[in-house]
Structure 1
Amino acid sequence: MKYIILVSHGQFAEGVKTSLEMFAGNATERVFALCLHNGKSAADFKADVETFLKEQQFKEDDEFVVLADIIGGSPLTTFLEVFAAQGYLEQAVILGGMNFTMALTATVSLDTMDKDELAKTALSEAKAALKQYQIPTATADEDDI
């Protein structure tokens, strides 16, 4: 079974998961959000991650796509420390710079791609979604109407 774990500072991962529920419905049953909330220490977050992993009771053959807000940030480094200690790191791909498009692509592709193909596709879609919105301008024809 494949799972997605969203990891972030503040409530970002929780917000992404809530938005995913609007678009992907039941597909989010295998999506989890772990957040280092304001005012909590890395030690507090480590305890939260340990509790989360103990409660989920993942299996040896499970695979993971971990999406983080920032590569190198304390939520991800703390998560990976605990994740590795539990023996899950070899079964995971880790992506940073999480955005909604990345998370949605990963979520709807959980059952159709292996974790490496899923990671490649999610990164590609995330990059493609980054662009400046151009406000349409009125053309001469529209001004005449």
Structure 2
Amino acid sequence: MAKELVLISHGKMAEGVKESCELIMGPQDHVHTVCLLPEEGPEDFQKKFNDEISKYDLKDVDVFCDLMGGTPANVVSRLIMGGEKVHLVAGMNLPMVISWINAQMVGQDSDYVAAAKQGTVDINQYLANMGK
């Protein structure tokens, strides 16, 4: 059984990351999004998140969020502290999601946190150091 990935964010960042990922990797049936919209509060987000994860076996759910300490991360953190078996990682970016998908495709574990960090590069500095 494949794992499920739920991308959560302030605004529609999660949807944008999924769309960008699918542009590169093709359609992703195991990647889902839950977005906190400006007119919503924590209770609204929690209901949408609960509705989404109720479809899956929680031991097979990873959650990537945009920002540690924000409402989406805090809502899911409270669920984890309440005993839910969801795996939450903050600092979502496109390399992280692609690493997760690649690992699922080949049936291996991924260090998607390392992929997220490696995806952050100061290109100007990199180019300046190329000739050295």
Aligned AA (2:34): L
Structure 1 residues 51, 83: closer, same or farther in 2, change over 3 A?
A: farther
Q: Secondary structure at the match of 2:35?
A: strand
Please give the residue correspondences for 1:1-145 in structure 2 after superposition, counting only pairs within 5 Å: 1-26=2-27, 28-54=28-54, 56=55, 58-59=56-57, 62-82=59-79, 89-90=84-85, 92-111=86-105, 112-113=107-108, 117-118=109-110, 121-134=111-124
Deviation at 1:93, TM superposition (A): 2.6
Counterpart Cα distance in 2 of 1:53 and 1:94: 13
Q: CA RMSD in A?
A: 2.4
Mapped partners of 1:47, 1:83: distance in 2: 15
Residue 18 of structure 1 deviates from its aligned partner by 0.6
Where do 4+ consecutive residues of structure 1 move more than 4 Å? 82-85
> What is the TM-score of this pair, normalised by structure 1?
0.74
Q: Is the 8 A contact 2:96 2:115 kept in 1?
A: yes
Aligned residues: 125
Supply the distance in 2 between the matched residues of 1:126 and 1:50 (Cα, whole angstroms).
26
Query: 1:134 Cα deviation (Å)?
Result: 2.1
Find the residue that maps to 1:134 and give its secondary structure.
Answer: helix
Identity of counterpart residues, as a percentage?
24
Partner SS state of residue 23, structure 1: helix
TM-fit CA distance, 1:75: 0.8
Q: Is the 8 A contact 2:76 2:88 kept in 1?
A: no
Deviations 1:9-53 (A, max 9, x none): 111101001111111113x11001111011211111122122223
Residue deviations 1:83-134 (CA, integer Å, cap 9, x gap): 676x6x33x4321111111111112212422xxx42xx21112111211112
CA contact (8 A) 2:15 2:33 kept: yes
Structure 1: tracts of 5 or more residues without a match: 138-145
Q: TM-score, normalised by structure 2?
A: 0.80
Alignment CA distance shift 1:44-1:34 (3 Å)? same
Report the CA distance between 1:8 and its aligned residue. 0.8
Any unmatched runs of 5+ in structure 2? none
Larger radius of gyration: 1
